[in-house]
Amino acid sequence: VVLGDFNASRWHADFRRLLGKGHLKDAQELVGKGLSVSWPMDWPATPAFARLDHVLVKGGVVAIDGWTVHIPGSDHKAVVDDVAIEGG
């Protein structure tokens, strides 16, 4: 599991290349929430429009569910994904 603020959306060329190698999968996309947004948060002039924060899984780790959570004082929503070890 690799997670964090990648400062890159699915449309960023380097991030697409990372996912394109086939080893890492975006957990939000795996559970059908690939269009979720995490940034910017609470900026009245600019509604949230991109997900820069990601949980990536590989190998025997599977995504079960995913959502975003408002974090007071942050300019990002938290991206939360429920994952499990396959067969576990």
pLDDT tens-digit readout, 33-76: 999 999 988 666 667 889 999 999 999 999 999 999 988 888 89
What Å distances lie between residue 85 and 11, 57, 68, 69, 88, CA to CA? 29, 10, 22, 24, 5
| Predicted confidence (pLDDT) per residue in 2-21, tens digit | 999 999 999 999 999 999 99
